[in-house]
Amino acid sequence: MHSNHLLLEEPIRMASILEPSRTSFFPAMTKIVGTLGPKSRSVEVISSCLEAGMSVARFDFSLGDNKYHQETLDNLKTSIKSTKKLCAVMLDTAGPELTVVNTSEKPIALKADETVTIIPDKGEEASSEVFPINFDGLSKAVKKGDTLFIGQYLFTGSETTSVWLEVDQVKGDDVVCVIKNSATLTGSLFTLHAAQIHIDLPTLSNKDKEVISTWGVQNKIDFLSLSFTRHAEDVREARELLGKLGDLSQTQIFAKIESEEGLTHFDEILQEADGIILSRGNLGIDLPPEKVFLFQKEAVYKCNMAGKPAVVTRVVDSMTDNLRPTRAEATDVANAVLDGTDAILLGAETLRGLYPIETISTVGRICAEAEKVFNQDLYFKRTVKFVGEPMSHLESIASSAVRAAIKVKASVIICFTSSGRAARLIAKYRPTMPVISVVIPRLKTNQLKWSLSGSFEARQSLIVRGLFPMLADPRHPAESTNPSNESVLKVALDRGKASGVVKSHDRVVVCQKVGDAAVVKIIELED
Average pLDDT over residues 46-50: 97
pLDDT digits (tens, 9 = 90+) for 73-99: 999 999 999 999 999 999 999 998 898
Cβ count within 10 A of residue 81: 10
How do strand 507-514 and strand 130-133 relate by DSSP bridges? unpaired
Q: Which residues is 132 bridged to in the sheet? A: 119
Average pLDDT over residues 115-129: 92
Cβ count within 10 A of residue 238: 24
Helix axis angle, 327-339 to 289-306, nearest 10°: 30
Contact 53, 27 (CB under 8 A): yes
Residues whose CB falls within 8 Å of the CB of residue 96, separated by 6 or more in sequence, listed in order: 199, 201, 202, 203, 205, 227, 228
Length of the chain: 527
Beta strands (DSSP E) in 250-358 are: 252-257, 275-278, 310-313, 343-346
Alpha-carbon distances, residue 63 vs 189, 200, 231, 320, 474 (angstroms):
9, 22, 25, 18, 39
Closest CA to 352 of 98, 76, 45: 45
Poorest-pLDDT segment among 6-15, 36-45, 62-71, 219-228: 6-15
Give the per-residue pLDDT at 502.
86
Q: What distance lies between CA 507 and its chain's CA centroid? A: 32
pLDDT at 244 over 50: yes
Instruction: Indicate the pLDDT class of residue 492, thresholds 50, 70 and 90.
Output: confident
Average pLDDT over residues 439-455: 70
The region, left, alpha or beta by phi > 0 then psi within -120 to 50, assigned to residue 383 is: alpha
How do strand 88-92 and strand 223-226 relate by DSSP bridges? parallel
Closest CA to 299 of 339, 259, 334, 253: 339
Contact 72, 41 (CB under 8 A): yes
Residues whose CB falls within 8 Å of the CB of residue 30, separated by 6 or more in sequence, listed in order: 337, 341, 342, 343, 344, 364, 367, 370, 371, 465
Instruction: Indicate the pLDDT class of residue 482, thresholds 50, 70 and 90.
Output: low
CA distance 407 to 85: 31
CA distance 79 to 46: 6
Give the per-residue pLDDT at 279.
92
Cβ count within 10 A of residue 289: 8
pLDDT digits (tens, 9 = 90+) for 51-64: 999 999 999 998 88
pLDDT digits (tens, 9 = 90+) for 385-419: 999 989 988 899 999 999 999 999 999 999 988 88
Instruction: Indicate the pLDDT class of residue 479, thresholds 50, 70 and 90.
Output: very low
3-state secondary structure of 205: coil
Alpha-carbon distances, residue 226 vs 30, 152, 235, 237, 313 (angstroms):
22, 21, 8, 11, 14
pLDDT at 3 over 60: no
Whether the bond into 390 is cis, omega within 30 of 0: yes
3-state secondary structure of 179: strand
pLDDT at 38 over 90: yes
pLDDT-above-70 percentage for the chain: 88
What is the DSSP secondary-structure string of 120-143? E-SSPPP-SSEEEES-S-HHHH--
3-state secondary structure of 232: helix
Give the per-residue pLDDT at 476.
54
3-state secondary structure of 20: coil
Q: What sections of 340-441 are H helices per DSSP?
A: 348-351, 356-372, 376-387, 393-407, 421-428
Poorest-pLDDT segment among 22-26, 150-154, 214-218, 463-467: 22-26
Average pLDDT over residues 497-502: 80
pLDDT-above-90 percentage for the chain: 64
Instruction: Indicate the pLDDT class of residue 4, thresholds 50, 70 and 90.
Output: very low
| pTM for this predicted structure | 0.90
Q: What distance lies between CA 208 and its chain's CA centroid? A: 19
Instruction: Indicate the pLDDT class of residue 440, thresholds 50, 70 and 90.
Output: confident
Instruction: Indicate the pLDDT class of residue 180, thresholds 50, 70 and 90.
Output: very high
